[in-house]
Structure 1
Amino acid sequence: MEEVSHEATAKSEEVKQLEVEIEEGQGRIDGLKQQADRARDRAQGAQAAQRDFQHDVNDLAGAKYRSLMVDPVTNAIAAANPQNAIDRAAYLGTLTRNTERAVDKLAAATAEAGRSHTDASRMVAEANFQQSQLERQHRVLAAEQDELQNRIREIEEQVAALDEAARALWENKNNPLAPISLTGEGAVGAALSKLGSPYGWGATGPNQFDCSGLMVWAYQQQGKTIPRTSQAQLAGGTPVSRADLQPGDIVGYYPGVTHVGMYIGNGQLVHASDYGIPVQVVSVDSMPWAGAVRY
């Protein structure tokens, strides 16, 4: 029965990790869509500026053309009056400079519109790809959840079939200890306050817990957020050795870190063990060690 329970626990952790990945994936997709919307807005703004600058270029070019296409009488007047010629040359120079600036702005607006359109298209394509990956993960999750439910039913039926003596053996399989003190500070105190609470698959409290759920809940009471799954919890903190353990450290067990508990001092650990076993205190060495971290 213990093997079935370990398999169910491992599958539960896999399902939770998939749920986390799906949530993160949806967040990435939402972010890409927002970026695409902003890029489209920039493209529309650049296109509006492009139209304005094109209008300016056309107006300036027209004015310059009209100034150059003068009749013979105007040329004669300009030749007879040097100041008029100087003024006219200055005016044409101003028109030329203004036209050049308008052309530069038009080119910049055109380039920005092109870049923004490209950015929007790229982000939409990436969002669509991420969406297809997310849909695949949803299908995998559904299959994993079905398998998990089958294993949960199996272990629940086996636990329900235990007689009184066998149930006592199951509940005491990790040789639970009577802790020296039922109180503690910080996350330790929060975890110890849940001694005797029943095990619940995927539960994070406040009345039922799985192994990583108890860790999440205990740290939440201190205003600290830690990863949801046992593997992520052990990967997310600062690694500590067995000799350097301090109360509040999270200890991982079994290959693949399918189980976690919280060190409370005096070589003891509080954890939510298995279905049918309440939150209890055991020796920190009662299970195969996989590592420890500090948050």
Structure 2
Amino acid sequence: MVAGSISTGIARADDVDDLIAQMETVSREAGELNDQVLTLEDDIVRTQEDVDRSKGEVEDAVRKAQEAQALQKEQQAVVNRIAGARYRGAVIDPITNAISAENPQNAIDRAAYMGVLARQASEAYSSLDESTRAAAEAHSKAAASRAAQVLKLSDLEKKRRDLDVEKGKLDERINQIKAQVDGLDEGARRRWIERYHPVEGVNIEGLFGSESGLSAVKAAMSKQGSPYGWGAAGPDIFDCSGLMFWAFQQQGKSIPRTSQAQMAGGTHVEKSDLQPGDIVGFYPGATHVGMYIGNGQVVHASDYGIPVQVVPLDSMPYYGASRY
């Protein structure tokens, strides 16, 4: 465990570089875990919304199934009445009707009645068939909706368990980093804070770029000196992607929350075409991001114990850039 090799008051110069390298490794692992936790939290929110929506769909499907079943019972009652009438001899063939009629008008009336009853029977059987089919379909949909909701609930609970596990891992990494940084002597701490070669007194007046980009730069730059915090997106504490998220949020624009999602979204920009406000990814897999402010510089929230600062673009391994 890296933290186990750290002692308070380390002062030997030849050990500091190794120490910083070890701390950077653990810190990047913490950053990756932080992104995983944030992604899981977003997945849980979306899944919970799906569960809530599916609950309404299930209730609607059950209601329609009950309505279809009630209609089926009504049509069955009509069919039963007509069947009863036929059984009692109300329906007779035309020849028997003519012979047994008391007079021609009586025969006509009875024939008309038989025609009406026949049409009613046909319509009743057709309605029963339709209502039976509708009831079956409604019940099938209700059952499918219930099954889908059960699956979503199961997926939600699994994601919550996974989140607890990842949070535990993240807390372990965070504690390692805090112990390491807090155990540094003054010289080593300064090396840690200045390892990206921060630039002081940067003037952003007169920068060329889009209104949206310049607005984001102004917001991000206003947070110079703010402390770092895993999973934080302002207004006073930030992680790397949280600073980007907050800066664009100030102009009413919503961008993805995590560093990798920020790199996957927006419009890809070549390094040679960077403009103020572009989000730049660093390290393999885009495990860190900062905002390009022009003149070959980025503002970023880098790590625990290091305030939001401006550093050279090439102070970290370049990954790519996105424009929002």
TM-score (norm. length: structure 1): 0.89
Q: Which amino acid aligns with 1:110?
A: T
Superposition RMSD on alpha carbons, in Å?
2.5
Q: Which amino acid aligns with 2:297?
A: Q
**How far is the alpha carbon of 1:262 from its aligned partner?**
1.6
Corresponding position of 1:289: 318
Corresponding position of 1:8: 30
Determine which of 69, 92, 107 is the counterpart of 1:85: 107
**How far is the alpha carbon of 1:88 from its aligned partner?**
3.0
CA contact 1:64–1:95 (8 Å) conserved in 2: no
Give per-residue Cα distances to partners, 1:55-108, cap 9 Å, x unaligned.
Answer: 2223344455553259x9975563731x44334333322322232222222222
Instruction: Give the share of equivalent positions with the same residue, in percent.
Output: 53
1:256 equivalenced with 2:279 (yes/no):
no
1:177 equivalenced with 2:199 (yes/no):
yes
CA contact 1:64–1:92 (8 Å) conserved in 2: no
Q: Aligned to 2:61, what secondary structure does the other structure show?
A: helix
Give per-residue Cα distances to partners, 1:163-215, cap 9 Å, x unaligned.
Answer: 22222221111112232227983222211111111111110110100011111
For residues 120-269 of structure 1, the aligned pairs below 5 Å read 120-178=142-200, 179-181=202-204, 185-269=214-298
Instruction: Give the number of aligned pairs.
Output: 293
Q: Aligned to 1:176, what secondary structure does the other structure show?
A: coil
**How far is the alpha carbon of 1:151 from its aligned partner?**
1.1
Return the alpha-carbon distance in structure 1 between the equivalents of residues 36 and 97 of structure 2: 88
Give per-residue Cα distances to partners, 1:245-282, cap 9 Å, x unaligned.
Answer: 22222211112221111222222211111111111112
Return the alpha-carbon distance in structure 1 between the equivalents of residues 231 and 314 of structure 2: 25
Return the alpha-carbon distance in structure 2 between the equivalents of residues 243 and 294 of structure 1: 13
Return the alpha-carbon distance in structure 1 between the equivalents of residues 219 and 78 of structure 2: 70
- Long gaps (5+) in structure 2: 1-22, 208-212
Determine which of 299, 308, 314 is the counterpart of 1:270: 299
Q: Which amino acid aligns with 2:285?
A: G
TM-score (norm. length: structure 2): 0.82
- Long gaps (5+) in structure 1: none
